[in-house]
Amino acid sequence: MTQMLQEADELRRNGKYEQARELYQQIVADQPDEPMGWWGLAHVLMNQGDFELAGEYFQRAAKIAPNHQRILYDWAMLHTMLGEYDAARPLFEKVVAIDPSSKEGAEAQKQLTYY
pLDDT in tens, 28-75: 999 999 999 999 999 999 999 999 999 999 999 999 999 999 999 999
Three-state secondary-structure class, residue 100: coil
What superfamily would CATH give domain 1-65?
A: Tetratricopeptide repeat domain (1.25.40.10)
Q: What is the DSSP string of 8-58?
A: HHHHHHTT-HHHHHHHHHHHHHH-TT-HHHHHHHHHHHHHTT-HHHHHHHH
Residue pLDDT, tens place only, 2-27:
899 999 999 999 999 999 999 999 99
- For 67, list phi and psi in degrees, rounded to 5: -115, 20
The whole-angstrom separation of Cα 4 and Cα 34 is 12
The Cα 97–Cα 64 span in angstroms is 18
